[in-house]
């Protein structure tokens, strides 16, 4: 039974991935900052909940000792833990961007580096949970997009470094998924993520409301991503990147169309959303 660590396993994609991997015969270490949220998972003997804040070195040391003590090794690492900071970039504090990168990039590096010897020994897999925001930068989600773009570069470099050593690195790029990250983003907005006095307030609020509504109502279920993660772990030759979205063709176009053309598309979309939001607010 191959062992896999899933970070950020307390909710959303991480929770679904942990449960699904166990159903497919994996032994899972489910990492979460608050293990009380993993009570339901604890009922399965093949899931071990572990306290893991990806920015906390002490948590990582304890985790590595636990894995070594269990003697099952570590075949897979699913770097799923992440946060999203929102707001116009010119209004976002340096501290918020640092916090964004501490979790979404530096935390990933810290976990991967600490556990790499075990993954190397197993000739295993490292799965990076990126996003459509890792190749398509949307306005007013700059900190999150920047961290995911950075993660993609990190993953590409790492993949090319470890390729000849038997370890595979795979990027998962989900589109809109129904997870608690939307509720968290909503709280960010309400607590001042978008300043009413900002010159960007009108556009940012309209896009924020639109994205939150879409995320909470029309996103894919986390299980869709979990199944893709599983595929990346079990197939002999996994793809370098997996886009998990209903509109894959549209995303592929965004990757090849001229940036200036995409800018126009985005600008038109923002203006359309502003008009729609204004009509709804009047009702």
State the catalytic residues: 144
Q: Please give the biggest Cα pair distance in the chain.
A: 62
Cα first-last separation, the chain: 57
Token look-up 């986390």 returns 222
Contacts of 214 (CB under 8 A, 6+ apart): 176
- What whole-number distance in Å separates Cα of residue 269 and Cα of residue 71? 53
CB–CB of 266/207 below 8 Å? Answer: no
Q: Please, are residues 27 and 5 in contact by the beta-carbon 8 Å criterion?
A: no
DSSP strand pairing (27-32 vs 125-129): unpaired
Nearest-angstrom CA–CA distance, 71 and 67 = 7
DSSP 3-state of 76 = strand
Backbone angles phi, psi at 102, to 5 degrees: -60, -40
Q: What SS3 state is found at 199?
A: coil
For residues 269 and 156, give the distance between their C-alpha atoms in angstroms, rounded to a whole number.
31
User: Rounded to an integer, what distance in angstroms lies between the CA atom of residue 70 and that of residue 45?
Assistant: 13
Residues 6+ apart with CB under 8 A from 166: 120, 123
């Amino acid at each position: 039974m191959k062992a896999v660590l899933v970070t950020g396993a307390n909710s959303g994609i991480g929770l679904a991935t942990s449960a699904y991997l166990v159903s497919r015969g994996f032994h899972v270490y489910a990492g979460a900052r608050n293990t009380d949220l993993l009570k339901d998972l604890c009922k399965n003997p093949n899931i071990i909940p572990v306290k893991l804040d990806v920015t906390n070195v002490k948590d990582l040391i304890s985790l590595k000792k636990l894995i070594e003590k269990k003697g099952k090794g570590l075949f897979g690492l699913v770097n799923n833990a992440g946060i999203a900071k929102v707001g116009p970039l010119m209004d976002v504090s340096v501290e918020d961007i640092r916090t964004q990168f501490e979790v979404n990039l530096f935390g990933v590096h810290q976990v991967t580096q600490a556990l790499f010897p075990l993954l190397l020994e197993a000739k295993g897999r490292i799965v990076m949970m990126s996003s459509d925001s890792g190749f398509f930068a949307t306005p007013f989600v700059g900190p999150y997009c920047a961290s995911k773009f950075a993660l993609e570069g990190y993953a590409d470099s790492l993949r090319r470094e470890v390729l000849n050593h038997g370890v595979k690195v795979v990027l998962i790029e989900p589109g809109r998924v129904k997870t608690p990250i939307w509720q968290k983003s909503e709280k960010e907005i309400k607590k001042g993520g978008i300043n009413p006095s900002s010159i960007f307030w009108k556009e940012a609020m309209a896009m924020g409301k639109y994205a939150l509504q879409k995320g909470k109502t029309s996103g894919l279920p986390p299980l869709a991503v979990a199944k893709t993660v599983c595929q990346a772990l079990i197939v002999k030759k996994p793809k370098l990147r997996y886009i998990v979205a209903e509109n894959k063709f549209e995303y592929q176009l965004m990757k090849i169309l001229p940036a200036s053309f995409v800018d126009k598309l985005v600008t038109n979309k923002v203006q359309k959303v502003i008009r729609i939001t204004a009509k709804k607010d009047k009702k």
